[in-house]
Amino acid sequence: MQSLKIRLLKIVLIFSALLIGLTVLLYVLQRSGNSADTVGAEAVACNEISQLIELKEYDQAREKLDDLRVNLKKSSDINGFGTGLIVLCGITISFMAVVFLYVYMSILRPFDKMRKFASEIAKGNFDVPLNYERSNYFGAFTWAFDSMRKEIIRSNAAEHEAVENNKTVIATLSHDIKTPIASIRAYAEGFEANLDKSPERRTKYLEVLMRKCDEVTELTNDLFLHSLSDMGKIEIKPEELELVTYVEQAVKDIAAERGDVVFRKPDLSPCVLADRKRITQVIENIINNSRKYAKTDINISVKETDGYAEIIFRDRGAGIPDEDMPFITDKFYRGKNTGKENGSGLGLYIVKYIAEQSGGTLALRNMNPGLEVTFSLPIKKNKEKI
């Protein structure tokens, strides 16, 4: 940019010097070429007029005098042309100076500012503002450049927040895992000390140990899923799946005969393309969420709607507060009514991710009382057509 300004200035100066030199040369040549002839002609005319006056030839003397006036007028016009040439040269040089100043102010200086701004951005200094004017040619470009700077700042802030959230989730899950492990150790020590002498106490100890093991499993699953979702490596391997039969078996395995989950088998058999492991993961996440927060019976059903097979989960709990509903599937988000229940805010985020990657949707609706969660998948074909 600096060299461009110097080259442009040199061009203006050289052109001005050449113009001035040419003007002076033409003026000098014009003056020198006409001055000798003019002086000689004027001297001869004066002598002739004097002689005619002495001879009393007044008419001829008057004619000679008129001719002398005409010649003097021509000489004056020539001098005026030289002066006009000088004035024209001055105007041309002034115009070139104005053009150079305009180019510098409108193009070179704004471009130089952007160059310095880009250099600061390259150094990582995003706090340097770039003032722009819509009147210059780079107004829109400068605005876009400054918008890019602001977007980089927002992106860096979001990245920093994500890193901090990641640390917080890992720390929280690590802390939450310690609690059930401490209980498991305590009850194991009870077994070691033969405190489980009665069948009732032994049964109670075993129930607590199994429940605490389940809690550890849930937390480690959350930790594992968090690491996967954070890296975007949750793999979806779809295969042809008869949904009702698979959901019935998955619900039976997850319910573990607790009696709080009821599957209402429909009289239909939609076939979908889905990942068996991920569908099980979805069912397990939603059931565990209902057990943890609603603490009521859970009804599960399957139906077909507009080319989609829908797995519908319905509990009778308090539902999700309306202000939390738009954000409840966001990563790390936990509703205001979760109380002291352990959790990382990843369950519904993972469910939604799996739904979208499978070509389906996830919908949540408060039913008053309770919450209805609908997980849908596109139907491939009916079982009868297989």
- Same domain for 73 and 182, yes or no, is no
Answer yes or no: is 144 within a domain: no
- Helical H runs in the chain? 2-54, 58-103, 109-122, 139-192, 199-231, 243-255, 276-289, 347-357
What dihedral do alpha carbons 10, 16, 21, 27 form, nearest 10°?
180
Q: What residues contact 158, with CB distance under 8 A and at least 6 apart?
A: none
Query: In this predicted model, what pLDDT tens digit does every residue of 226-258 receive, in sequence order?
Result: 665 555 666 788 999 999 999 998 888 777 667
Instruction: Say if residues 13 and 21 touch (Cβ distance below 8 Å).
Output: no
- Same domain for 249 and 376, yes or no, is yes
pLDDT score, position 361: 95
Tell me the residue range of the domain where 248 lies.
Answer: 239-385
Compute the distance between CA of residue 9 and CA of residue 11 in angstroms, rounded to an integer.
5
Which CATH number goes with the domain that contains 254?
3.30.565.10
What is the total residue count of the chain?
386
The residue with tokens 């503002």 is 129
Q: Total structural domains in the chain? A: 3
Higher pLDDT among residues 19 and 360, named by residue? 360
pLDDT score, position 36: 46
Q: What is the mean pLDDT of residues 360-382?
A: 90
- Same domain for 35 and 89, yes or no, is yes
Q: How confident is the model at residue 74 (pLDDT cuts 50, 70, 90)?
A: low
- Same domain for 182 and 256, yes or no, is no
pLDDT score, position 177: 76
Name the phi and psi angles at 377, rounded to 5. -135, 145
Instruction: Say if residues 20 and 111 touch (Cβ distance below 8 Å).
Output: no
